[in-house]
């Protein structure tokens, strides 16, 4: 009697694993959506049951209405905030990677400047921002500097770590083959640093948005060309709570979109070779 004849195609463990996989696939989306629907419903009921006036806590429907009604103004504000965020992120990438490369190329530079990079990072941006707006005339430039200050450190720290984590035997191999400094950087250190850099970039994307929003709060001046944070402040002064919520939702969604976009970029760049992007068979 052979084993194959009366053994079922899938044993109990396989079935369990399949069930778990199916649950994982749907649960990943369904559960958060269910939680959100429940929260929104509870929010709505809370307002109705307690008869909370809309200038204290608006009903979700009113927030949505406001979002649609104020869309032209909010969208313009979103574009301003997004522009600062993206520019800050771009400068953070250039500055962070540039400094990291400089640090790994020269121990002297690293020893001299790394402590100051740390000091910049640990000093809260809210406390530096007022000073920046005193010395920098251009409001956009001020916002950019604030957002950059927050965003660049994770890129610097991660890229430095990555550049230094190139395989030791590969480094020896490059030396044996007489590789130049530039070749070692280009063909060995930078590719080794890519996964670390992308990890830092994902953190920096969120931080750039936070930096931009915080700086807008500090900068505080209004008028044309104001970002979402200013719209929130302004709506607060006018007790226009629904608009505060609408702007808040836009900021949160922007953060999610930035994170998702950078995660996708990371996946696309690493999917062929890096452990983090590989699916395990079992």
Binding footprint of another protein on the chain (CB under 8 A): 167, 169-170, 172-179, 183, 187-188, 191, 194, 272-275, 278
Nearer to another protein, 57 or 170 (CB): 170
240 Rama sector, left if φ>0, alpha if ψ -120 to 50, beta otherwise:
beta
Residue 96 CB, nearest approach to another protein (Å) = 21
Nearer to another protein, 112 or 276 (CB): 276
Nearer to another protein, 107 or 168 (CB): 168
Contact 153, 96 (CB under 8 A): yes
Residue 26 CB, nearest approach to another protein (Å) = 30
What one-character-per-residue DSSP string does 235-262 give?
A: HHHTT-HHHHHHHHHHHHHHHHHHHHHH
Contact 44, 60 (CB under 8 A): yes
Spatial distance between the Cα atoms of 199 and 154, rounded to a whole number of angstroms? 9
How far is it between the farthest Cα atoms of the chain?
A: 88
Residue 199 CB, nearest approach to another protein (Å) = 16
Nearer to another protein, 11 or 167 (CB): 167
Spatial distance between the Cα atoms of 157 and 116, rounded to a whole number of angstroms? 13
Residue 270 CB, nearest approach to another protein (Å) = 9
Residues in the chain: 282
15 is written with which tokens? 């079935």
Nearer to another protein, 51 or 281 (CB): 281
Residue 191 CB, nearest approach to another protein (Å) = 5
């Amino acid at each position: 009697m052979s084993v194959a004849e009366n053994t079922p195609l899938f044993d109990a463990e396989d079935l369990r694993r399949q069930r778990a996989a199916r649950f994982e696939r749907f649960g990943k989306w369904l559960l958060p959506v269910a939680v959100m629907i429940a929260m929104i419903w509870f929010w709505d009921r809370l307002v109705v049951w307690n008869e909370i006036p809309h200038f204290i806590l608006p009903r979700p429907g009113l927030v949505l209405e406001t979002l649609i009604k104020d869309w032209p103004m909010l969208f313009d504000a979103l574009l301003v905030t997004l522009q600062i965020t993206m520019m800050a992120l771009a400068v953070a990438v250039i500055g962070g990677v540039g400094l990291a490369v400089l640090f790994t190329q020269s121990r002297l530079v690293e020893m001299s400047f790394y402590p100051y990079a740390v000091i910049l990072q640990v000093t809260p941006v809210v406390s530096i921002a007022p000073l920046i707006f005193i010395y920098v005339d251009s409001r956009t430039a001020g916002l950019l500097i604030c957002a950059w200050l927050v965003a660049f450190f994770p890129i610097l720290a991660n890229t430095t770590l990555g550049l230094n984590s190139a395989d030791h035997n590969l480094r020896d191999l490059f030396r044996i083959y007489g590789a130049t400094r530039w070749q070692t950087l280009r063909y060995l250190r930078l590719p080794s640093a890519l996964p670390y850099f992308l990890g830092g970039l994902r953190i920096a994307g969120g931080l750039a948005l936070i930096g931009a929003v915080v700086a807008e709060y500090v900068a505080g001046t209004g008028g044309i060309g104001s970002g979402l944070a200013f719209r929130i402040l302004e709506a607060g002064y006018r007790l226009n709570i629904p608009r505060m919520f609408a702007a808040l939702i836009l900021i949160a969604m922007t953060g999610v979109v930035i994170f998702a976009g950078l995660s996708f970029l990371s996946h696309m760049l690493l999917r062929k070779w890096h452990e983090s992007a590989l699916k395990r068979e079992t």
